[in-house]
Structure 1
Amino acid sequence: MILEIVSPEAKLFSAEVTSVTLPGVDGSFQILNNHAPIVSILEKGDVKITASNFAFAKEVASKFTKVNDQNYTLSINSGTIEMKNNKIIVLVD
Structure 2
Amino acid sequence: MFLEIITPDEKIFEGEVDHATFPGSKGSFQVLNDHAAMVSSLGKGDLKMVITHNKKTEETHMAIDGGVVEVLNNKVLVLAEHVEK
For the residues of structure 2 that align with 1:52 and 1:16, how far apart are their CA atoms? 9
The corresponding residue for 2:11 is 11
Letter in 2 for 1:34: D
Instruction: Give runs of aligned pairs for residues 5-84 of structure 1, distance below 5 A.
Output: 5-53=5-53, 70-84=58-72
Structure 1 unaligned regions, length at least 5: 54-68
Structure 2 unaligned regions, length at least 5: none
Letter in 1 for 2:48: K
The corresponding residue for 2:75 is 87
Paired positions, count: 78
TM-score (normalizing by structure 2):
0.88
TM-score (normalizing by structure 1):
0.81
User: 1 or 2, which has the higher strand percentage?
Assistant: 2
The corresponding residue for 1:65 is none
For the residues of structure 2 that align with 1:86 and 1:28, how far apart are their CA atoms? 19
